[in-house]
Amino acid sequence: MINNRLTQWFPPPRSFRRIFTLMYFGVISAVIYFSLIRQCDNRFLLGNTGILVGILLLLLGMEQFERQRYGFTTPTRPAVFLLLLRMALFAAVAVIDCSGFAAFLFPLVPFSAYFAFGGRVSNFLGLFYWGYYLWQYRPFANQGEGSVFNWMVFTLLLFFMLAIARVIDSDERNQRHQQELLADLEASNVKLQLYAEQVAELAATEERNRLARDIHDSVGHRLTVVNIQLEKALAYKDRDPAEAEQAMLDARQAAREALQDVRRSVGTLRDGRGGFSLDLELGKLVQGMRHGRFTLDYQFTGTEESYPYPVLISLYRAAQEGLTNVQKHAQANHVSLHVDLGEEAATLCLCDNGAGFETAVLADLAAAKTHSFGLQGIRERLELVSGQMELTSQPGAGTDLRITIPKRVG
């Protein structure tokens, strides 16, 4: 929720890069306009003007392709190819241009190079194009196209593009860091909920133990009273029938009270899950996850009747730990959670389309004494209910977690 609000209030820095895509359209359109005014080329489609339009469309297509294919970070080889292609297209525009306006495309080269190769390469290209402008247009020797005023504008634009590239890159880094912090915060919140529920479980267990002690003390005491009264009745059977009868009545009353204590205590202990509903608790868990960075598809089929509490709580803990790992590590945008309580066994399937990982590293992580990995806890809980876990994942192909627990444990 916090991340969504920040996105609404402040547009992501990546969107600022798209603004400079409009410079292709603006500069090349100006080149076409001045070329037509100065009648450098009278043919619109088959001459230089048509070539300029084609170059403009190609540049815009390159920007769209790079954004959709690579997002924030373009790999080195494609970045080199795209940079060289931009330089070639800009050079082609400069050759065709007869107005001198095409030179204002050159600052876009160090601007785009900054995000792929860093500040040194960007500064080098900026210095290269600044020198190229002096050599090609000779602003101090001519008073026409290469005037001092145009050189000053070109210099200011070049410095502006180099400076704004650094600002945008810094903002993008800050945004990625902010997203990582938000992900850690959300995962920590889920962990806190998990710890709170574990504390509640421990408190409930302690309460049941207390009730067991109460049963022992109250029922045991009353049964002792019953035994004493019966012995008294036997002792006074012939000597004092009235006293013996009173002892029998007292024994019967003590037995009734003991029976009431047993019924009350057993009624409390019989519902050992404390009204736990797997569907209801999973619904709450899913609802809390739907404000994160991914969509969540949740399906629940079957009935919880006759399923023992350890099976249901094991499924809930597995889903909770799995969703926590997805939220913190998977970098997914879609997750599905399907739970089916069948006639013979219960199954839980948790799938995401995130980054995935090599499953071989799980053994090393579990063996590290200083590393805490939640899947080990799932395995230990499943061992108590004769459950099985299957985990499949590959880098870039998401992760599938499948858990199966028989209905009747033991």
Across 23-137, the runs of DSSP E, i.e. the strands, are none
Average pLDDT over residues 144-169: 82
Looking at the fold, whether 292 and 262 belong to one and the same domain comes out as no
Looking at the fold, whether 142 and 229 belong to one and the same domain comes out as no
Quick check: is 173 in a domain?
A: yes
Given 129, 164, 182, the domain boundary residue is: 182
3-class SS of residue 352: strand
Given 134, 164, 182, the domain boundary residue is: 182
Digit-coded pLDDT (tens) for 49-58: 778 778 878 8
Beta strand pairing call for 399-406 and 334-341 = unpaired
Residue 86 per-residue DSSP state: H
Question: Hunting for tokens 């992900």 — which residue is that?
Answer: 183
**How many domains does the chain divide into?**
3
Q: Give CA–CA dist 71/284, Å, rounded.
A: 34
Would you state the structure tokens that stand for residue 330, as one six-digit string?
A: 């998977």
Would you state the structure tokens that stand for residue 21, as one six-digit string?
A: 């895509």
Looking at the fold, whether 134 and 171 belong to one and the same domain comes out as yes
Quick check: is 145 in a domain?
A: yes
What is the pTM assigned to this prediction?
0.44
Digit-coded pLDDT (tens) for 366-402: 555 544 456 776 787 788 888 999 988 888 888 899 9
Given 241, 270, 299, the domain boundary residue is: 270
- Structural domain containing residue 248: 209-270
Quick check: is 191 in a domain?
A: no
Quick check: is 82 in a domain?
A: yes
Looking at the fold, whether 172 and 66 belong to one and the same domain comes out as yes
Percentage of residues in the chain having pLDDT higher than 90: 9
Looking at the fold, whether 75 and 163 belong to one and the same domain comes out as yes
Q: Give CA–CA dist 216/258, Å, rounded.
A: 11
pLDDT score, position 283 = 87
Looking at the fold, whether 215 and 305 belong to one and the same domain comes out as no
Looking at the fold, whether 285 and 316 belong to one and the same domain comes out as yes
- At 338, the pLDDT band (50, 70, 90 cuts) reads very high
Digit-coded pLDDT (tens) for 205-262: 765 665 655 555 456 556 766 777 788 788 888 788 888 888 888 778 777 767 766 7
Looking at the fold, whether 305 and 170 belong to one and the same domain comes out as no
State how far the alpha carbon of 57 is from the alpha carbons of 52, 64, 98, 152, 170, in Å: 9, 11, 20, 29, 30
Quick check: is 200 in a domain?
A: no
H, E, C per residue of 297-309:
EEEEEECCCCCCH
Quick check: is 385 in a domain?
A: yes
- At 7, the pLDDT band (50, 70, 90 cuts) reads very low
CATH number of the domain where residue 391 is located: 3.30.565.10
Looking at the fold, whether 256 and 288 belong to one and the same domain comes out as no
Q: Give CA–CA dist 76/78, Å, rounded.
A: 6
**Element at 346 (helix H, strand E):** strand 345-352
Average pLDDT over residues 255-275: 63
Q: What angle do CA 207, 209, 210 make, to 5 degrees?
A: 65
Q: What angle do CA 291, 294, 300 make, to 5 degrees?
A: 85
CATH number of the domain where residue 263 is located: 1.20.5
- At 299, the pLDDT band (50, 70, 90 cuts) reads very high
Query: What does the chain come to in residues?
Result: 410
Quick check: is 370 in a domain?
A: yes
One-letter identity of residue 57: L
Quick check: is 106 in a domain?
A: yes
Looking at the fold, whether 33 and 178 belong to one and the same domain comes out as yes
Looking at the fold, whether 296 and 376 belong to one and the same domain comes out as yes
Looking at the fold, whether 237 and 322 belong to one and the same domain comes out as no
